[in-house]
A and B are shown apart, each in its own frame.
Chain A
């Protein structure tokens, strides 16, 4: 079964840091670009970051540039998101999502992990 499972969400104070992980299974992880998408409580979806299959193309939304870092380990079939300098408006469910080959959009999603930034 094709699956993505996120972990690492927590309650953290403003200015704090957190590392999210996403474990992939059921497909050849190294063939696919991977992404993080977030959703604040009761709100819509926001793309956060992308990393290409071979690590060489990385992109961020302006809202997180300079604070978040995406990475992956193809040997471990895992995707990561390092969140630094966290703010209240970073509070959200964070989803990892696979960008398909065809279609070239987010065809597989994890169940999400909750990040709450509050003092």
Chain B
């Protein structure tokens, strides 16, 4: 089983700042089958990024993904108040596993 770890656990930033979220896999994620989801309180997760760096339909371009192998990053270039949420990475190369999440809070 591929285990995903995410850091930091919580990120507190001001609107307009840049957020950098990390996801590390216990083994290489083949074909970069790594996705990022956003979940707001009381809501279902929403797909943001797939294939490590491709934005899903309707996702603003301030969200970007990068990385390969075992190290991946989600960047939110200019935080907006509505970006307050928990962000999960997920690998879908070998079954499915999720990271524990990073909570992004807006100051």
Cβ contacts under 8 Å, A44 to chain B? 88, 98-101
| Minimum C-beta distance from A95 to chain B (A) | 6
Chain B residues near A110 (CB, 8 Å)? 44
**A105 near B92: Cβ-Cβ < 8 Å:** yes
A105 touches B98 (CB 8 A): no
Beta-carbon contact of A47 and B33 below 8 Å? no
Report whether B44 and A107 are in contact in the complex, using a CB–CB cutoff of 8 Å.
no
- Give B31 Cβ to nearest chain A Cβ, in Å: 9
Q: Are A47 and B44 in contact (CB under 8 A)?
A: no
Q: With A47-B95, A47-B98 in contact, is A105–B44 under 8 Å at CB? A: no
B contact residues vs A (CB 8 Å cutoff) = 33, 35, 37, 39, 43-47, 50-51, 54, 56, 88, 90, 92, 95-101
A45 near B92: Cβ-Cβ < 8 Å: no
**Given A44-B101, A47-B97: A103 touches B35 (CB 8 Å cut-off):** yes
Given contacts A105-B47, A106-B96, 15 further A-B contacts (CB under 8 A): A44-B98, A44-B99, A45-B45, A47-B97, A47-B98, A95-B44, A103-B35, A104-B92, A105-B50, A105-B90, A106-B45, A107-B50, A107-B56, A109-B44, A110-B44
B47, A107: Cβ atoms closer than 8 Å: yes
A109 and B46 alpha carbons, distance in the complex (Å): 8
CA distance A44 to B101 in the complex (A): 7
Q: A45 to B38: give the CA distance in the assembly, Å.
A: 12
Chain B residue nearest to A109 (CB atoms) is B44
Which residues of A from 93 to 119 have beta carbons under 8 Å from B? 95, 103-107, 109-112
**A46 in the interface, Cβ–Cβ < 8 Å?**
yes
Q: Contacts of A112 on B, CB cut-off 8 Å?
A: 44
Report if A27 contacts B (CB, 8 A): no
Residues on the A chain within 8 Å of B99, using CB: 44
A45 close to B98 (CB less than 8 A): yes
